[in-house]
Amino acid sequence: MILDLLFAFGLLLTPASQLRLAGVPIGPGEFCLIVWVILVLGREAARARLTLAPALSRLLVFWSLFTVAQCIGTLTAKFMGDEHDPVWFMHDVMAYPLLAAISCLSLVGPHPELRLRRVAWLLCGFGTPVVVAQLADAWGWYDLPSVEPLWWDQFRGWSSNPHQLAVLCMVLGFLSLHLAETTTRPGARIGAVACAIVPVYAGRQTGSDSFTLILVLAGPIFLAFKCRTWLFLRERKIGVRSGAAWILALALPGIVISIAPLAYSITVEARDFAKSMAREKPENTKEKTELRFALWEQAIRRGVESAMLGLGPGPHLEIPQSIVSSRKMDVVHPDFVEHPKPSFVPNFEAHNTMLDLFTQGGLLIVLSFVWLIAATFRSAYQTRDAGLPSLLCGLCIYAVATFLLRHPIFWFVIALCLVAEPRPVDQLRSIAAGRVQRGHAHLANALS
């Protein structure tokens, strides 16, 4: 239980990079994870027995290919005469082994699926108080020295970047839905749903565009996977859920045809809804979009220049002049956000998971990452539940605007999905039947 608590608090506090002491590269979250890694390694060394389960084998294959690709990229950069920023090069060299250890060690030992489910409950249970503490700091209820919970009009809590907190809140929200969906106890289901309220609210306050997009798409994505689950509950006597799912599936073509004339008005309403949730002016959004496309174009060019072999760990893009100018103008908070400073070598990132991997490890690392995500999604989809596939879809949306590999909680989700076991149709039917019987019993008690 102590190991699970260390793991959960490490995942929750790793985004809290403002809690690090000045000049110290690790904070309380990284400290908890390092202690957890050491204790798990000691436990496995004492057991002297390692079973290569399929989930662990997939992660070991990925990290082996990842290491080979990064080494080839580093040699390619040396051959081309391309220099690295030594600070950010060592940052990645130190971070990747820790992430590999976290992802692989979370799957060692007997029954990793039960252990990771316990950690998921701890994450959701302690996640709400941790997020509430950050909100209270932003509301002025107390003051932590050297912590700025607001970044202009965006809420970032104890993180140095609002997107770090937004990713954590998104994962906590979907994990709560997953636990509520898979538990059989009514009290636990209500508690799991309640754990999603505060993270969703805090994620919205971060002003993250990706979080806003996920918030808009979460309902349809979850409902689509849920309808697929209900279709498996068919029996000789079709229940309410299965019947509703089949009616929706059979009526879908007719619904699409009937609403086709209203497509324009629906598009206009959706655009207005998106504008109402947006946090920026249209001109600011346009500038940000142009900047992002410029970074992506530069990342593709750098990856192609390396013969698609990559350039090794660290960032490899030139800092856009617009960002340099904005930093010079900000005389009040010159270090408001932890970003690379102008240097004699390129040291900026594309802020896109696939493109940043492409610049570091070339085509090999991109293909290995796509293979891992496909295998993870297949495992989550085979559970016949909606929470885990929806969570992966949310992470894929975030991967477009964030380098997700450095988030330890991302690797926890990957491990959780890889060990998720498919629930047989008979088990799903028995769960549904049990809920119906409990409903009948409660009704009979009420009438009596």
Domain residue limits, the chain: 2-438
Helices (H) and strands (E) in the chain, counts: 17, 2
Q: What is the pLDDT of residue 280?
A: 54
Q: Please enumerate in sequence order all residues whose Cβ is within 8 A of that of 312, keeping only pairs 6 or more positions apart, or say none.
A: 70, 71, 73, 74, 75, 76, 77, 84, 89, 360
As given in the structure block, the two tokens for residue 241 are: 């859920």
Question: Residue 339 — very low, low, confident or very high, per pLDDT cuts 50/70/90?
Answer: low
Q: What is the spatial distance between Cα 83 and Cα 76, in angstroms, rounded to a whole number?
A: 11
Q: What is the pTM of this model?
A: 0.83
Of the pLDDT bands very low, low, confident and very high (cuts 50, 70, 90), residue 312 is very high
- Tell me the percentage of the chain whose pLDDT exceeds 70: 76
| Section 289-313 average pLDDT | 89
Distances (CA, A) of 432 to 92, 175, 233, 235, 387: 47, 21, 8, 11, 17
* SS3 at position 155: strand
Greater model confidence, 397 or 248: 397
Q: What's the rounded mean pLDDT across residues 129-156? A: 89
Does position 255 have pLDDT exceeding 70, yes or no?
no
Summarised one tens digit per residue, pLDDT across range 58-80 is 999 999 999 999 999 999 999 99
Q: 155: which strand partners?
A: 150
Distances (CA, A) of 361 to 1, 23, 135, 300, 382: 38, 29, 38, 12, 31
Using only C-alpha atoms, the chain has a radius of gyration, in whole angstroms, of 24
Burial class (CB in 10 A: 0-12, 13-18, 19+), 292: middle
3-class secondary-structure state, position 23: coil
For Cα atoms 301, 302, 305, give the angle at the middle one, nearest 5 degrees: 85
Distance of CA 311 to the CA centre of its chain: 26
Average the pLDDT over 346-355 and give the result: 86
pLDDT > 90? residue 442: no
Give the DSSP H or E segment for 350: none
C-beta separation of 104 from 411 below 8 A: no
- Average pLDDT of span 196-214: 90
Which has more confidence, 299 or 228? 299
Asked if 192 and 179 touch (Cβ cutoff 8 Å), the reply is yes
- In 3D space, the residue among 137, 132, 136, 139 whose CA is nearest the CA of residue 169 turns out to be 132
What are the distances in angstroms from CA 285 to CA 94, 167, 280, 338, 433? 35, 20, 6, 22, 50
Q: Average pLDDT in the 303-331 region?
A: 78
Q: Which long-range contacts (CB under 8 A, 24 or more apart) does 240-248 make?
A: 241/432
316 versus 363: which is more confidently predicted? 363
Q: Which amino acid is located at 49 in the chain?
A: R
- Residue at token pair 């969703």: 200
CB atoms within 10 A of CB 415: 25
Q: What is the pLDDT at residue 371?
A: 96
Q: Which residue type sits at 214?
A: I
Q: How many CB atoms lie within 10 A of CB 152?
A: 11
What pLDDT, on the 0 to 100 scale, is given for residue 127? 94
Q: In this predicted structure, what is the pLDDT of residue 73?
A: 94
Structure tokens at 133: 């503490």
pLDDT band at 233 (very low <50, low <70, confident <90, very high): low
Q: What is the pLDDT of residues 319-331, one digit of tens each?
A: 877 666 665 555 4
Any residues with CB less than 8 A from the CB of 391 and at least 6 apart, and which? 171, 174, 175, 178, 380, 413, 417
Closest CA to 85 of 339, 363, 358, 295: 339
For the ranges 112-126, 145-159, 299-313, the lowest mean pLDDT is seen at 145-159
Give the pLDDT band (50/70/90) at residue 119.
very high
